[in-house]
Structures are given as structure tokens and as C-alpha cells.
Chains A and B, each alone.
Chain A
């Protein structure tokens, strides 16, 4: 059995779905942040796979993925910093309790 584009795409969508589920259902801000990282990883896999199988001569997908990793790192840093700030102020990171924007 050789690995085809489909296998990577299935992996990518499974990972994306897991991440999405986590991001939408978990209460802890840290877990949500982790779920978002999983989704970014899933997208990166899909990008690299497409690049490898569809246009092997170009490295567009790979370059994009590097950008995604960089941005994800920055995002994780800023996100965690925000979560710490919230925790210091409100002693909780349960996002159902963080609802100041509610009507």
C-alpha cells in the first residue's frame, strides 16, 4: 500500500475535526488554545500534501506551512499571555464566565 493524497487529507480532516470540536466545546481557555493549534497543524498537513502531490515542482505549500508555524507560535504566545492576564484578574479561565461582551 502506497501513501496517497487521500490518506493525508483524511488525517488532516480528522485532526481538524478534533480541533474544531475541542475549540467549540471545551471550557478551559488553555484547552481551546491547544485545539486551535491542532487545527493549524491539520491545515499545515493538508497544505504540504497538496503541494507534494499536485504541484511537486513548486514549494508553495511548504512555504505557507512555515509561515503558519511562525504565526502559530506567535499566536500561542499572545494567547497564553492573555489567558494569564485573565486568570490574574478573575481567578478563572472558564470562558463561559468570561462574558462581558454579552448584551
Chain B
């Protein structure tokens, strides 16, 4: 496309799904309630529009010098002399890539949902929330201002809450929604604190301006570090990094397409995006950057260990998501924007596909428990094929997408920090193992459930096939370092020799060997049964219990911190303070007034002479005071 995209259409990218949200809530739900498919079609239509515009935007950016577009912004909040906040859009390659990821995955998930949510009474509500979420997510990646970003940030959190609790009549779903909201809120507090800190130190919230301040050193190093750590705290909450990872596995109570879109591909990646967007701040604060790397590296292996033992297919995928997000953080911490975002880009496609596959399996068997599945490859060939491709991709098998970004991260980690490299390498092995454990238990062997499984309808299969193609090819964009180059940061470690050239390095062979041995072990345990899974879990029983109890983090947070520390002590103390001191003060004032009134009304004797005496005393007092003041 030759012509540059007009400014108005850029705004339309994130306003289109908003239009769909408004249409569904205000018109379709009240007036056309009997036509549920209509809201789905509108959502799909508007998101297709956003996708086309995003592609046009990407094309324009590729032609534009320095790969940036300046969109005129408008004043949003002006207080003379102190606050001047513009509402505008940042249009660079990072935005464009995120826009493509969000719109593509969102579109596929919306199409898939037409099949998955078929006949659900909350159909309109589902699509309304999904549209709102897409708007918020697109707005978040396009905002040029921390405050606007924060608004969209909270909005995606709200949509996540609403969609996790979509089946709110199930107590588990309502509880999970609440948990997700509260836990991410803890991180958001850090983000908000960082915004305020930056604002009071620089007087601006504009992202580009903050970047230049960070680069020129106009922000003091202590402020910079705390601001970066605060921003990272927000990212930790949203991207479910340790220690705020506990909400994501529970969030699987929501409908599976929601998990695919929000809790795999887009919203949880918002934390990674945020760190990437504010990267100059991290870059100039070595402490903050190494925090990102260590938290990411630790989360990657920590979540992977729990993924090894889960029996719920969605929970395995949830822990896998946490682990992969940890990878992205590690990539940002040791490598830079391009490497972290490249993994985000690839991960979005294959992880969304894995979730859609899990949803398809659930559609057929009505369960998420992999112990009740098996043998599905015969009845669900499409689901099996796409799920297998995604699993190979996430395991990092050449030449699928996951391989390219994972090896970039591993190479950067090796050159920066040996400990993190070793952790990441072990995670590669674990990832391959738990993914193929799921594959073999779900699709291999004989069927163990009671429902009669069947292949999903084409409306669900087609999006999976599209995503499967992307899960294969999305990594190739960086085979010659093109992706890193476009992100304008240029820091790419090693592999730019192209499709086959990468195999001349030793590192990819090591990671392939790790992944291969993971797959082999899974095959030995769950398909060929050379090794008994029971005996191995008994042999490592202390570890097995530790992993399957999720390191008792839920118990630690809910019982020890939540119940004992906060409820029983702090809040109980606060309650005492409230009921005695504060209520006491309020009640005391009222009581004093009542008692005074009761005493004073005795003076209202009805005797005129007494009143007369008071009048005289009053007059005397006035006269005396006049005389004294002279």
C-alpha cells in the first residue's frame, strides 16, 4: 500500500470495538435479544476493521522514515501552570506489532467463540465484554501518556474480572474473579505510585518526554530506579509474575476463549508490553533491569515446576503462560525490547491456539481433566494436529515460532548471566515435558471418559488452523534479525544467519536436545509406559507434593497473610480503633450535646423573672465590656 494511513483512521483502530460494545449494550441486547449471533457478527466485523487498519498502519510505518508516525494529540486535562495532560497516540513499531497481535488473536477468538459459546444465555454480555476488552487493550498499546495508559490498564483489568466471573453463578468463578482483581490491584498500586513519583519529579506524564529525560539523565537515579521498580510491580501483577502469580491459574474458571485471548495472548502480556514501552527507564537503572531479569527467570522455572503435575489441562496451560511470561521478562531484562517482544509476539499465537485446543477438547468431552481424556487424536484430527503444532512451537522445536524467540532469549541470558541461563535451560526441558504430557494424555492412548467425543464445528476449527499457521511462521520474521531491526533497538544476540544458518551455532542444538529429551521423557512415561508415572511421583514424592500444592502460596497468602496477619490482627485492631476511638468520638459529641441540652433546659423554667435577670446580666455584660474597651 502506497498511501499513508490518515490520522482519523488511526484513532478508529481502537474506537471500532468500542462502537461494537456500545451497539451491543444499548441496542442489540435490549431490542434484538432473540438474535444472539448478531452481537458476535458485529464484534467480528469491527475487529476485522481494526485488523485491516492495523495492517495499513504497519505498512505506513514501514514506509515512514524512522518507522514512526506523529499523530496530532489534543488537550485533555489542563490546569494552568501545573498539569497539562495530552490525550494522544504513540505510533511506532512496538505499537504496530502489539496492534497486530491483539487484533489477530482477538479476531480468531471471537470467531471461535461463535461456536464455543453457542447457546449460552449470556451471549450478548460475552461479546459486549469482549469488545470492551479489545478496545481497552488496543487503547493501552496506543496511548502516549502514562495516565491514559493507566486508565486503559485498569479497564483491561476490569474486563478480565468481568470475563473470569462470566459464569458468576458458579462460586468458584466469582471467587476467582475477585482474586484476580485484588491480586493485580496490589501490583497496580506500584504502577500508580510510579506514575505519581515520575509526575512530581518531572512534571510530565508523556511517554516520549519521559524517555528523553531518562536518556539525558534529567531524572535522578534513585527516582528512576524506584519509578522503574514501581512500573515493574504493575507488570508483575498483570503478567502474573512471582510473587503475584496466584491469580492466573484460578482465572481459568472463565470461558476458555477468554482464557485464550485475555489470559494467554494479550492482557497478561500487557505487563511485558509496559516494561518494553518504558524500557529507557529500565535501561538507565541497572538495579531495575536486573530485578526484571531475575524475577522473570525465577518465575519461568517456578511456574514450570507446577505445570509438571497439574491434571487440569487449562491449569497446565496457565502455569505454562506464567512461565513463558517469565521468559519474556527475562528476555527484556537480559536482552532488550526486541527480544522480549519477539517472544510475546510468537507466544500470543501458539498459546492462544493451545487454549482454543483445550476449549475444543472440552467442547467434546465436557471436562478439563486430562485423566478423563485420551485417544482423542482419532475423533478430533484437526484439534490434535493444531494442538501438536502449538506444543512443538512452545517446546522450541526448529523451525517453529517458539524456537526462534526462545533461542534469542537463551543466547542473551548466556552472555549476561550464567545462573539465569541455566534456569532458562532447565525450563526448556520442563516446558517440553509438561506440554507433551498433556498431548499424550489427551490425544494418545485409549479414551477414558464417559461422554462421546466429536470433532468441533468448522467455526471453531478454522481459527485454530489460522493460528496454527501463525504458530509455525511467526518466528521467521526474525530469522535474519529483521524483527529486532524494526523495533529500532538493534540489540540482537547472534542469530541472524537466516533459516538454516542458525543451526551452525552450538546453542540451538543444546536447547533442541533439552526440549527433545523432555518430549522423550513424556513419551516414555505417558505414551509408551516404559516408566510408571506413579512410581516416579512416589520416588520424588516430597517434590511432587510441593509442586501439586503450588508451594503452598495460596495458603500462605490466604491463610497466613490474608487471614492471620491482616484479618485477625491488623484489621481486627483497626476495627477496635474504629469502633472505640472514631465511633467513640462521634458518639461522644452527640452524647455531650444531649447531656448539655438536658442540663441547660432546666434553666428554661417558665419564670419570667429569671429571664429578666438574664436580660439584665446580659445588658450589664455589654455595658461593662464597652466601658472596658473604652
Contact = CB atoms under 8 A, between A and B. Distances in A.
Interface in B600-625: 601, 604-609, 612-613, 616
B606 A99 contact: yes
A2 interface: no
Interface of A: 20, 23-25, 32, 95-96, 99-103
A103 B603 CA distance: 9
Contacts of B601: 103
A77 to B, nearest CB: 20
A24 B604 contact: no
Contacts of A25: 609
B609 A24 contact: yes
Given A24-B612, A95-B607, A102-B604, 8 more contacts: A20-B616, A24-B609, A95-B608, A95-B609, A96-B607, A100-B606, A102-B607, A103-B606
Contacts of B616: 20, 24
B605 A102 contact: yes
Contacts of A23: 609, 612
Interface of B: 601, 604-609, 612-613, 616
Contact of A101 (B606, B612, B613): B606
Q: Which of B605, B608, B613 has the most A CB atoms < 10 Å from its CB?
A: B608
Which 5 pairs across A and B sit closest by C-beta, in order of nearness?
A102-B606, A99-B606, A101-B606, A103-B604, A24-B609
A96 to B, nearest CB: 6
B208 to A, nearest CB: 74
A100 B609 CA distance: 14
Interface secondary structure of B, over-half rule: helix
Contacts of B609: 23-25, 32, 95
A102 B610 CA distance: 12
A83 B352 CA distance: 100
B62 to A, nearest CB: 89
22 contacts: A23-B609, A23-B612, A24-B609, A24-B612, A24-B613, A24-B616, A25-B609, A32-B609, A95-B607, A96-B607, A99-B605, A99-B606, A99-B607, A100-B606, A101-B606, A102-B604, A102-B605, A102-B606, A102-B607, A103-B601, A103-B604, A103-B606
A20 B616 CA distance: 9
A88 B471 CA distance: 111
A96 B610 CA distance: 10
Contacts of B605: 99, 102
A95 B609 CA distance: 9
A100 B616 CA distance: 23
Nearest to B603: A103
Contacts of B604: 102-103
B387 to A, nearest CB: 86
B314 to A, nearest CB: 74
Nearest to B604: A103
Contacts of B606: 99-103
Nearest to A99: B606
Nearest to B601: A103
Nearest to A32: B609
B170 to A, nearest CB: 63
Nearest to A102: B606
Nearest to A101: B606
A32 B608 CA distance: 11
A101 B609 CA distance: 13
Contacts of A100: 606
A102 B601 CA distance: 9
Contacts of A32: 609
Nearest to B609: A24
A23 B608 CA distance: 10
A54 to B, nearest CB: 20
Contacts of B607: 95-96, 99, 102
A59 B201 CA distance: 81
A95 B605 CA distance: 12
B541 to A, nearest CB: 83
A3 B612 CA distance: 34
A101 B608 CA distance: 10
Contacts of B613: 24
Nearest to A25: B609
A103 B601 CA distance: 7
Contacts of A96: 607
A103 B598 CA distance: 11
Nearest to B610: A24
A32 B611 CA distance: 14
A25 B601 CA distance: 22
A61 B123 CA distance: 96
A13 B608 CA distance: 23
Nearest to B612: A24
A32 B613 CA distance: 14
A101 B601 CA distance: 12
Contacts of A20: 616
A96 B613 CA distance: 15
Contacts of B612: 23-24
Nearest to A23: B612
A95 B610 CA distance: 11
